[in-house]
A = this chain, B = another copy of it.
Amino acid sequence: MTAAKTRVSGRGRPSKAKGLDLKETILDAAEGLFARHGFHGVTTRQVAAEAGVDTALIHYYFGAKRELFDAVFLRRAEILNQAREASMNAYVKAHDPETPGAGAMTVEGVIEAFIAPLLRISQDGGPGWKSYFALVAQVNNTPAWGGETMARFFDPVVHQLVETLKIVRPQAEYRDLYWCYQFLTGSMMLSLSETGRIDSLSEGECHSSDLEAVRARLFSYCAAGFEAVIAKASSAA
């Protein structure tokens, strides 16, 4: 039926792995198209044409269209989560109070550890990543199934962020941290997704693709926002 799942069968041909290359080709094509036009804005035939394969091959490898989409979403999510988890762990470790000479953790430091991997990967990880971030930004703003999909793939690393921030600011309330995360992710995803809006809005002053400009501003923007919300809440209490 679905086939192509168990590559470990008895006698066939396990080597060469031509099929794997094609699978990646299909995922790349689907990724670019889904990112630009959304799930419903793309047909399996378009994906097949873009990848240069037969339509049926997509179903052979991935099953239904939605499964293809999930495969696209999952492929880089794992890499992303791993990079972010490592980045945050490294930050925490580098500021371990046991370590002599290590400064204390800061809100901005934690946020940078959370966001910086995405910027770095988007800049250095190859062209597919830009499409991928645009895709995630769209899912993030999709009411019907976006929240559920984001949760499925990204909740753990967000919880790690919130818990780490809770260490840095123990007096902060969780509900404030979660709301601030909501603000952060809205800014971050829109900035990683290169919609071109800021280009025309600023009449050439800014460029969507200028992630260096994002890096120079987003960390301090979000950190200051977090601090302000936390301070306001504790002063009101």
Select which of B38, B187, B202 is within 8 A of A38 by beta carbon: B38
Check if A232 is an interface residue, CB within 8 A of chain B. Answer: yes
Q: How far is the CB of A112 from chain B (nearest CB, A)?
A: 13
Q: Is A60 engaged at the interface, CB distance under 8 Å to the other chain? A: no
Within 8 A of B (CB), among A192-237: 193-202, 205-206, 213-214, 216-218, 220-229, 232
Q: Which residues of chain B are near A146, meaning CB under 8 Å?
A: 195, 197
A151 within 8 A of B: yes
A54 lies within 8 A of chain B by Cβ: no
Return the contact of A197 from the options B150, B196, B232 (Cβ within 8 A). Answer: B150
B-chain residues with CB within 8 Å of residue A201 when the two chains form the complex: 151, 155, 158-159, 178, 181
A59 to chain B, nearest CB (A): 20
Among B176, B178, B191, B213, which residue has its beta carbon within 8 angstroms of that of A175? B213
Within 8 Å CB of A197, what residues of B?
Answer: 140, 146-147, 150-151, 182
Report how many copies the assembly holds: 2
User: Are B228 and A143 interface neighbours, CB within 8 A?
Assistant: no
Q: Is A26 an interface residue (CB 8 A)?
A: no
Assembled-state Cα–Cα distance A188/B182 (Å): 9
Instruction: Give the residues in chain B near A198, CB-CB below 8 Å.
Output: 178-179, 181-182
Known interface pairs A190-B140, A195-B143. Does A202 touch B178 (Cβ–Cβ under 8 Å)? yes
Given A183-B191, A223-B228, A200 contacting B151 (CB threshold 8 A): yes
Residue pairs across A and B with Cβ atoms less than 8 A apart, 7 shown, are A41-B144, A140-B197, A151-B200, A179-B213, A181-B198, A183-B218, A184-B187
A residues touching B (Cβ–Cβ < 8 Å)? 35-41, 134, 137-138, 140-144, 146-148, 150-151, 155, 158-159, 174-176, 178-191, 193-202, 205-206, 213-214, 216-218, 220-229, 232
